[in-house]
Amino acid sequence: MAMRKAKVFAGIIVLILLPIVVHGISNEANLRPIIGILSQPGDPAPEGESYIAASYVKWLESAGARVVPIFYDMDAQDIERRFAVINGLLLPGGGATLEPGHRFYDTARYLVELALKANDNGDYFPVHGTCLGMETLSVIISSNYTLLGEFDAEDAPAPLLYTNEAAASHLLRSLPPDVVTDLQNKPIAMENHMNGGGLSMTAFLENPALGRFFRVVSLSLDKSGAAYISTLEGRNYPFTATQWHPEKNAYEWTPHLHIPHTTDAIRMSQEVANFFVAEARRNLHMAKNIIEEDELLIYNFKPVFTGKHEHEGEERDFEQSYFFKKISRGL
């Protein structure tokens, strides 16, 4: 009898406390963050389709987020509908023409404009660009389509050379101190850019719009010793950009690249994901209801084992990829 009373009593206490707990947490953070990832055309997508490398999806999921794909060939209305649902935007790596009139660039720019406007209205909305994503952000902010330089940093993991401004970096202050030191002392940041990929300090200084918007957090050296900007972050906006690929350490395994898989590198990868997803918990964008959320999530698509070897010596960059049919042909 006493047991039963105790249980009832405990149940009442839980019922009283539950709304306080739930309410208290929801005041601080969005516990169901969703990140939008922009798809792009080109290899490994079949002709007429676009893709997202699954490593970006898994990387975000590892930090407690879910993913909504945003197709590069969507119209404005569909982009806006997704923007209302996502709590952060990831512009991934790859290769695309970064000029107006090219669909990938135009869609990326529209999303970035929506993110800038949201932040201007007091809505904390983070954007992260990786590799091509960083280049895309730089071109959008500078409106200079000949901004990028020639660097040879293909398959060239590198340490980060922190600048004087790194001391003010929100990203570095948010990462655990040992991860910040590891990034500086060990080549665990996976760099893989070449031919017209990369931003020099000279170009950064020649385009003052960049310096107004971004602080340079780190530089890195390519194979010939030339310095390129490896980490940028917004001065007044929660934007971060890395020329390096934090998603590859844990999720890409192609043997032809020297992706750092040490425990330090994996920890770094996870902590950068934790940082970005924590940023995304700071706004309350959400789907109208659970049915809309279901409809938009990437779970509607199956990743393909694109890294599978048909024979030895054949190497593909992405272990798994998602493919999306052209919008005009329907989904």
Ligand X SMILES: *[C@@H]1O[C@H](CO)[C@@H](O)[C@H](O)[C@H]1NC(C)=O
Question: With the CA atoms of 273, 243, 48 and 89 taken in that order, what torsion angle do they form, in degrees rounded to the nearest 10?
Answer: 40
Q: If 0-12 CB within 10 Å is exposed, 13-18 middle and 19+ buried, where does residue 186 land?
A: middle
Quote the CA–CA distance of 49 and 328 in Å, as a whole number. 11
270 to each of 59, 63, 179, 283, how far by Cα in Å? 7, 7, 10, 21
- Using the minimum distance from each CB to ligand X, give the nearer residue, 114 or 203: 203
- Using the minimum distance from each CB to ligand X, give the nearer residue, 51 or 214: 214
Minimal distance, residue 101 CB to ligand X, in Å: 17
Minimal distance, residue 141 CB to ligand X, in Å: 12
Minimal distance, residue 203 CB to ligand X, in Å: 3
Quote the CA–CA distance of 197 and 265 in Å, as a whole number. 23
Q: Cite the active site residues.
A: 131, 245
Minimal distance, residue 277 CB to ligand X, in Å: 33
DSSP string, 206-247: H-HHHHHHEEEEEEEE-TTS-EEEEEEEESSS-EEEESS-TT
Quote the CA–CA distance of 222 and 225 in Å, as a whole number. 5
- Using the minimum distance from each CB to ligand X, give the nearer residue, 200 or 283: 200
Q: If 0-12 CB within 10 Å is exposed, 13-18 middle and 19+ buried, where does residue 251 land?
A: buried
E strands, 44-186, where?
50-53, 66-70, 88-91, 127-130, 161-162
- Using the minimum distance from each CB to ligand X, give the nearer residue, 144 or 274: 144
Minimal distance, residue 194 CB to ligand X, in Å: 18
Residues making contact with ligand X (CB under 6 A): 144, 146-147, 203, 206-207
Residue 41 and residue 50 in contact, taking contact as beta carbons nearer than 8 Å: yes
- Using the minimum distance from each CB to ligand X, give the nearer residue, 75 or 206: 206
